[in-house]
Structure 1
């Protein structure tokens, strides 16, 4: 009886489904999908099932994905002619090098993560997180709903001007002490942990520098349309803020209300230590200076020209070299989160190399859609793709397609491109969807299923809000 229950456990069923999902594309033929695309589809289904079910640790799934991509879709597969051999149908003439997939373990996003981890660790070590909580949350009082609102507003506003990854790492350091003071049975712990990454993702929509999809879309707008010889569209920094910030603020309030509804607090007040006590040791001073310097460098990237990924190496180098973070502390960092993100990035490499992205987009007859439906459809496509791969990669893939679709249907390319950017930013249903999600997941306060449920609701509501309000907001900004 015990053996039967074990065999029929949820994890066992999920593992079987993942294996079936991986093997199925090898035995069926899908029109328009190359052999390489079929293999990618199998790996894609395998990853999705395991990431959602958590039958094995998420970072273990990421490691498995990287290995499968190397064995079935890299140049290594050419050495396995006795087994499955090299697939046909890559975008380029040759399969990606196996190093392309290994390199995702040192991707620039991971370096940015690492910098955020060092700042978060130092903040906890020297009590900076508690001090920040006292300073920032004092105006909001101790009522749980107001505390959460304050944290989400601060996160959202900061994410408009600096990396949402760095913002999440910093604010999570403030939130964790609050979470640890709550009883484990208090659902509000989950609301606090989920509210921060959601606010960071939403806040990034507000400015052109808030998140990479915004910058990618602005770049696409500046390109010359061969048919007219004119730029696809023009949108200034201020114009972007005029339509995006109102949209982001409304969605932020909706996300806040959703957290309160699904994860209500069991107490009427949250005990927060409002006393600010700064550690005055030499190592603490080094950390303070490093943290201030790093954050200023992130915020002023447009002035000095050093991108946020490079800036992320400053705290790593300084804090290790000065002994502020020792060898034991270094080993205790959340390396599993880095592997989790690397798996998502590697999957994006495979999607692009096999043409799987083009096949997915080609499933929809864009010409048969009205202008309004076209916008929401491409927004939904961006959201769906960004849920499983980098939102930057998804936007890069969809931006040129959006321009082509707009030209073919006679639609406004600017509106279609903005739908792409908004859809990509609203993808927040999985820990791998965005770096802020992965950082928050590392706290261990919520499950993937809880993030999927709330993230999907926010994404769907966000799409509906964009569909209803974007035309009016663009008109107010002078863009239509």
Structure 2
């Protein structure tokens, strides 16, 4: 076929330049404005700093009805976090760290100008500073650390690209078939790798294909399929995306354990249905039936001793995560096993530790600490009592919180949205009759991952947009349809199904 018939041939994909040496490809997602080191503050960031400061100060000078002083101080911190995370007035990680130190200084046991002074009940309820600092080493952080170690090793030893090359071979020919293959592979990788790294890896594989496709709509469809699949696929496991870890950690802090396999059983079928439905929608909107893409991809496996040790360790870790009910080892503990093995056997080293996405871990920690403070200071009860949530019932509360999460996640970081909403959702659920806490927390976390209608919504979208292969309009149309319909299914259909299956 001629180029006008949308025939594209990619160059062979290489997982490593040589079979004996590990290859390192540093994959970086685009930086948000607040991550930039130069260029000054944008108007929205300046507004955020001013508004955040004002809202932070107000509860110190005005008495809040039905809220004790520790709760008022926590409200100050909560309002500051909302404004800073929404506007990115300072880097997202900086806000997370600020939350922790402000809790230690203002609401912890022995805080500055102790808010509980003279009140025995408040003094007894105050948590020590160590409880807030403990968020930085919460067991779910260790779980995520293991996930990062596996993802980093997959990149270092070319495992990610080789898997993509092998799995894409059967999907050569029809463009629609190729897009299905891309989405399935991305959806399989993203539960165990960061969505950003997965998207960057897949684009490295398909850029030669994209540039050879002459049909603009088909090219757009292929480009949009990858971030969509990465966002949806990340829903499937606790380590797939930070909102999942935030929910697991917050539930654990409230005495509710959700194992790795429990999360997978609840989330994977939903993610699979959304993934296939999204592929159908992509084909209808962008991929002509006649379009064809021919693939010529060759896997080049790294066969060094270190690579083989990594392959075995990654397989063992994933197997242990998925069989937690059989052996009883917590998924958090399992997450630290690959860290110990890979470092001790020198498969990974100090440079790999430095290259991990530490800001994400600190951001998750900030969300855990925020939830701890909301519960310890009585702010949760005040938030519940301020709105007539009980009139909505369990379904209504879940629907409203999921829609809020979807809305927030479209215009701000998914992790920041989950940090704000998951603690509130758990507090609401625990205070209302007939509302399952685990269901609400998990649903809200997943809803935050479905906000993907803009380039700023999530790094995978930004990566796709930066290729120049898709417009904001096309991304918004696809994201709004998939996000809205998926959230409706999530909030209305999944909780009864989870209950019927006895998962919660």
TM-score by length of 2: 0.66
Aligned 1:35-434 pairs, distance under 5 A: 35-78=69-112, 80=113, 93-141=124-172, 149-150=180-181, 153=184, 167-169=191-193, 173-180=197-204, 182=207, 192-193=226-227, 195-201=229-235, 249-253=272-276, 274-366=297-389, 368-369=391-392, 375-381=395-401, 387-389=417-419, 396-402=426-432, 404=433, 406=434, 418=439, 421-428=442-449
* Match in the other structure for 2:65: 31
Aligned length: 419
Q: Equivalents in 2 of 1:77, 1:250: separation in Å?
A: 49
How far apart, CA to CA, are the structure 2 residues paired with 1:395 and 1:39?
20
Question: Deviation string for 1:141-200 (max 9, x for gaps)?
Answer: 487876665465567679xxxxxxx82427765542223464999987676345423333
Task: Work out whether residues 429 and 456 of structure 1, in 8 Å CA contact, stay in contact via their aligned partners in 2.
Answer: no
Distance 1:269 1:25, change over 3 A: farther
CA distance in 2: counterparts of 1:339 and 1:443, whole angstroms: 23
Q: Does the aligned pair in 2 maintain the 1:376–1:463 contact within 8 Å?
A: no
**CA 1:295–1:388 in structure 2 vs 1: closer, same or farther (change >3 Å)?**
closer
CA distance in 1 between counterparts of 2:50 and 2:73 reads: 18
Residue equivalent to 2:215: none
1:115 CA drift (Å): 0.9
Q: CA RMSD in A?
A: 5.0
CA contact (8 A) 1:216 1:395 kept: no
Preserved CA contact (<8 Å) 1:148 1:256: yes
C-alpha distance 132-391 of structure 1, shift in aligned 2 (>3 A): farther
Q: 1:215 to 1:335 in 2, by over 3 A?
A: closer
**1:24 Cα shift?**
2.4
Task: For structure 2, list consecutive stretches of 5 or more residues without a partner in the other structure.
Answer: 1-38, 212-218, 239-243, 406-414, 466-471
Contact 1:112/1:308 (CA < 8 Å) preserved in 2?
yes
Contact 2:191 2:235 in 1 (8 A): no
Q: 2-side partners of 1:245 and 1:167: how far apart?
A: 9
Which residue of 51, 54, 77 corresponds with 1:17? 51
- SS in structure 2 opposite 1:426? helix
Larger mean CA deviation between 345-354 and 45-54 belongs to 45-54
1:6 and 1:383 mapped to 2: Cα distance?
A: 34
Closer, same or farther: CA 253–85 of 1 in aligned 2, 3 Å: same
Q: Is the 8 A contact 1:382 1:398 kept in 2?
A: no
Please report how far the alpha carbon of residue 59 of structure 1 lies from its aligned counterpart in structure 2 after TM superposition.
1.1
Tell me how far 1:271 sits from its aligned partner.
9.0
Displacement of 1:201: 2.0
Separation (CA, whole Å) in 1 of partners of 2:249 and 2:135: 22
- 1:320 to 1:9, Cα distance in 2 relative to 1, 3 A: same
Contact 1:47 1:61 in 2 (8 A): yes
Question: CA–CA distance in 2 between the matches of 1:27 and 1:262?
Answer: 55
1:50, 1:127 → 2: CA distance?
Answer: 38
CA distance in 2, matches of 1:69, 1:214: 21
Contact 2:140 2:248 in 1 (8 A): no
> Structure 1 residues 41-50 or 290-299, which shifts more?
41-50
- What is the CA-CA distance between 1:429 and the residue it aligns to? 6.7
Q: Offset at 1:15?
A: 1.5
1:442 deviates by: 9.6
Kindly provide the CA deviation profile for residues 213-269 of structure 1, in whole angstroms up to 9, marking residues without a partner as x: 79999xx9x9xxxxxxxxxxxxxx99x97x9877655444566678899999xxx88
CA distance in 1, matches of 2:125, 2:50: 32
Mark the CA change 1:141 to 1:446 in structure 2 (over 3 Å): closer, same or farther.
closer
Aligned partner of 1:228 in structure 2 is none
Partner Cα distance (1:246, 1:86) in 2: 51
Indicate if the aligned counterparts of 2:84 and 2:90 stay in contact, CA closer than 8 A: yes
**CA gap 1:178/1:47 in 2 versus in 1, 3 angstroms:** same
Gap regions ≥5 residues in structure 1: 159-165, 205-209, 223-236, 407-412, 432-436
Q: CA deviation at 1:359?
A: 2.0
- Give the superposition deviation at 1:318: 0.7
SS at match of 1:297: helix
* Deviation for aligned residue 1:14: 1.9
- Pair 171,66 (structure 1): closer, same or farther in 2 beyond 3 Å: closer
Structure 1 counterpart SS, 2:127? coil
